[in-house]
């Protein structure tokens, strides 16, 4: 079982190619996951914590490890037959629960995670070395479970918290050195994400091992710049709920 799971992890890691990025259509429940998994263009299944929280009736900041794990297990079971690798957004890793969370995800067949460097409970950024150590800890647990090629997408929130691009680069490089496959520098909605120039600078600093949240730039533009991974966050859920509301209104109006 471990060999099969690590083969999935290895294939997922290999899809992170600078200049030919893996594109992830983030899901949030069994139905959305099965729909995405059925598409030939979907090379992997990835959750988005914001959307998972909304589907569970809570806000992203109030998403507990229990709710997130329950959703992840349901999604993993729903797409198991697709034989596509699955990665889960575990927010900040839930403090001291990190080891337990990773172990449970591994048992569910998950082969990657997205982990943030902002401590939700303490309301502050983790120190660079502490955040890097948490990434090493994730990979150590994965190795113990027979999945040495486990994929970590390390999210850096320093721009979101008023920091500089240089700080983001320092953090991202430390996370990559700790074993992360990619670094995800998120700018947040208030600053409009990250600019084309910033993406170019980050790609250079990270040797292309950058995850970008799709927004102002197209997939082709991001690929041409040299990123390795593109995700869309809760965009599918927002679009689905807009369509559902429109269709429901038509039904209600007869």
The CATH number assigned to the domain holding 42 equals 3.20.20.60
φ/ψ bin of 179: left (φ > 0), alpha (ψ from -120 to 50), beta (otherwise): left
Q: pTM above the 0.85 mark? A: yes
Q: Dump pLDDT digits (tens) for 50-61.
A: 999 999 999 999
Does residue 124 register a pLDDT over 80?
Answer: yes
pLDDT, residue 1, reads 59
Q: For the chain, what is the largest distance between any 2 Cα atoms, rounded to a whole number of angstroms?
A: 60
The residues that bridge with 118 in the sheet, in sequence order, are 125
Q: Domain range for residue 30?
A: 1-253
What SS3 state is found at 111?
coil
pLDDT tens string 62-121: 999 999 999 999 999 999 999 999 999 999 999 999 999 999 999 999 999 999 999 999
Q: How far apart are CA 36 and CA 25, in angstroms?
A: 7
Find all residues with CB under 8 Å of 89, minimum gap 6, and list them: 26, 46, 47, 48, 49, 52, 68, 113, 114
Q: How far is CA 15 from CA 109, 233, 234, in A?
A: 18, 19, 22
Report whether pLDDT(136) > 70: yes
pLDDT for residue 188? 80
Among 1-15, 94-108, 152-166, 184-198, where is mean pLDDT lowest?
Answer: 184-198
Structurally, the chain folds into a number of domains equal to 1
DSSP 47: B
Output the pLDDT for position 215: 81
Predicted pLDDT at 27: 98
Mean pLDDT, residues 211-236 taken together:
94
Taking the C-alpha atoms of residue 10 and residue 16, their distance in angstroms, rounded to an integer, is 10
Task: Using alpha carbons, list the distances in angstroms from residue 174 to 77, 128, 136, 185.
Answer: 34, 7, 11, 13
Terminal-residue alpha carbon distance, the chain:
53
Quick: pLDDT tens for 182-214.
999 998 877 778 999 999 999 999 999 999 998
Q: Is the pLDDT of residue 8 over 90?
A: yes
């Amino acid at each position: 079982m471990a060999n099969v799971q690590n083969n999935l992890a290895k294939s997922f890691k290999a899809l992170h190619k600078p200049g030919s990025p893996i594109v992830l259509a983030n899901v949030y429940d069994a139905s959305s996951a099965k729909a995405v998994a059925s598409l030939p263009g979907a090379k992997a299944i990835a959750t988005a914590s914001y959307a998972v929280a909304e589907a569970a009736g809570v806000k992203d900041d109030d998403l507990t490890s229990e709710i997130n794990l329950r959703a992840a297990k349901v999604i993993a079971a729903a797409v198991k037959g697709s034989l596509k690798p699955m990665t889960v957004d575990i927010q900040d890793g839930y403090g001291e629960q990190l080891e337990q969370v990773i172990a449970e995800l591994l048992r569910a067949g998950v082969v990657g995670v997205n982990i943030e460097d902002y401590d939700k409970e303490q309301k502050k950024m983790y120190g660079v070395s502490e955040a890097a150590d948490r990434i090493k800890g994730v990979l150590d647990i994965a190795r113990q479970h027979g999945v040495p090629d486990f994929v970590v997408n390390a999210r850096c929130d320093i721009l979101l918290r008023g920091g500089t691009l240089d700080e983001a680069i320092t953090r991202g490089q430390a996370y990559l050195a700790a074993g992360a496959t990619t670094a995800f520098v998120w700018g947040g909605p208030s600053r409009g994400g990250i600019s084309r120039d910033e993406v170019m600078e980050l790609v250079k600093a990270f040797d292309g091992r950058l995850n970008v949240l799709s927004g102002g730039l197209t997939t082709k533009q991001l690929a041409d710049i040299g990123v390795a991974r593109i995700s869309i966050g809760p965009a599918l859920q927002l679009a689905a709920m807009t369509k559902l509301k429109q269709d429901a209104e038509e039904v209600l109006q007869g």
